[in-house]
Amino acid sequence: MPATPQATQARGYLIPIGGAEGKRKDSVILQRFVELCGGNDARILVIPTASLLAETGPGYMELFESIGGKAVCMPVERREDCFREIMLEKLEKATGIFITGGNQLRLSTILGGTPVARTIRRRNAEGIPLAGTSAGAAIMSEHMIAGGRSGPSPRESGVELAPGLGLTNRVIIDQHFSQRGRMGRLLSALSFNPFACGLGIDENTAAFIRADGDLEVVGRGTVTVVDPSNLSHSSMSYVRKAQAVSLIGLKLHVLADGAHFNIETREAKME
């Protein structure tokens, strides 16, 4: 579950990015993230755990520094790394946290249930912005999409779920959404429990989510919001293996750059 903010402190932004965000200094998404972290005074901690590529962490460090902030890489490769005091000290000094893409199960199996995961939740509750791209976006929610079938239709066995970091329990996030045809697996995830909204985030697109629940879309693609709050029927409990699932009463929003959706009130609007 998300950590509880201090009475006088607003929770920090959550910024799930759909992947392939354009790793250039003129990236609108990354520029805005650096500004939220303090601009020239930003101290961004990069967590490249999901990636198996040695250059991922240093590459983002160089990118954030080219935009104007300062950055440090925290290469957490094993669970025992998450218990080291030096790792926790780096988190305490950060004004922003960035989780890279890769394999989200590396994130959940290495970070899950450790002092690093608890400190990440607390720091976000204290007002520190946290952004993640691709796998780093998926891990933010309480229930994380770990895999599943491509395609437009929800199906039994159409999605694999795992525990996420629990930075929010209001949404469940999928990424590379339109590019990889992931509507079916997002709908499959929502068919189990209509509490959370589904966010399908396209590549080079981000959802900037404020403490009050306001979500603003930034980027070149769209964020597909599936609101199941009025779901009246799901056949997931009785369909046979791999069969299509019926879902009745869903509400769908497709939101481009500048559009807003409030994950608390479930209201969409343009500003």
Q: Which DSSP string corresponds to 35-98?
A: HHTTGGG-EEEEE-TT---TTHHHHHHHHHHHHT-EEEE----SGGGGG-HHHHHHHHH-SEEE
Report yes or no: 56 and 47 within 8 Å, Cβ to Cβ: no
pLDDT given for residue 7 in this prediction:
57
What ranges in the chain are assigned the alpha helix state H? Answer: 28-36, 56-67, 85-93, 104-111, 115-125, 135-138, 183-192
Whether 51 is a known active-site residue: answer: no
% the chain with pLDDT above 70 = 98
Between the CA of residue 74 and those of 86, 94, 103, 242, what are the distances in Å?
A: 10, 11, 17, 40
pLDDT tier at 222, thresholds 50, 70, 90: very high
SS3 category, 10: coil
Q: Which of 134, 188, 191, 234 is catalytic?
A: 134
- 251 pLDDT above the threshold of 70: yes
Between the CA of residue 42 and those of 24, 38, 49, what are the distances in Å?
A: 18, 4, 21
Q: Which of 176, 188, 191, 234 is catalytic?
A: 176
**What is the pLDDT averaged over residues 56-63?**
96
Of 137, 91, 93, 140, the C-alpha closest to 116 is 91
pLDDT given for residue 59 in this prediction:
96
What ranges in 155-243 are assigned the alpha helix state H? Answer: 183-192
pLDDT given for residue 193 in this prediction:
81
% the chain with pLDDT above 90 = 94
Whether 141 is a known active-site residue: answer: no
Pairing relationship of beta strands 197-201 and 223-227 according to DSSP bridges? antiparallel
**What is the pLDDT averaged over residues 78-90?**
97
Alpha carbon dihedral 150, 153, 154, 159, in 10-degree steps, equals 0
- 3 pLDDT above the threshold of 80: no
Q: What is the C-alpha to C-alpha distance for residues 89 and 154, in angstroms, rounded to an integer?
A: 43
**What is the pLDDT averaged over residues 30-53?**
97
pLDDT given for residue 271 in this prediction:
80
**What is the pLDDT averaged over residues 172-201?**
96
Report yes or no: 46 and 100 within 8 Å, Cβ to Cβ: yes
- 242 pLDDT above the threshold of 80: yes
pLDDT given for residue 23 in this prediction:
87
- 8 pLDDT above the threshold of 90: no
Q: What is the C-alpha to C-alpha distance for residues 190 and 219, in angstroms, rounded to an integer?
A: 25
Q: What is the C-alpha to C-alpha distance for residues 260 and 271, in angstroms, rounded to an integer?
A: 7
Least confident of 4-8, 249-253, 259-263: 4-8
- 1 pLDDT above the threshold of 90: no
Assigned fold of 14-259: Rossmann fold (3.40.50)
The residues near 161 (Cβ < 8 Å, ≥ 6 apart) are: 143, 144, 145, 146, 189, 192
pLDDT one-digit tens code per residue, 98-136: 999 999 999 999 999 999 999 999 999 999 999 999 999
Q: Which H/E stretch holds residue 159?
A: strand 159-163
Pairing relationship of beta strands 247-248 and 233-234 according to DSSP bridges? antiparallel
Q: What is the C-alpha to C-alpha distance for residues 63 and 210, in angstroms, rounded to an integer?
A: 24
Whether 92 is a known active-site residue: answer: no
pLDDT given for residue 97 in this prediction:
98
pLDDT given for residue 201 in this prediction:
98
Q: Which of 21, 156, 203, 216 is catalytic?
A: 203
Q: What is the C-alpha to C-alpha distance for residues 189 and 1, in angstroms, rounded to an integer?
A: 18
pLDDT tier at 22, thresholds 50, 70, 90: confident
Both tokens of 71, joined, read 């950055």
**What is the pLDDT averaged over residues 50-72?**
96
**What is the pLDDT averaged over residues 160-188?**
98
Sequence ranges of the domains in the chain:
14-259
pLDDT tier at 6, thresholds 50, 70, 90: low
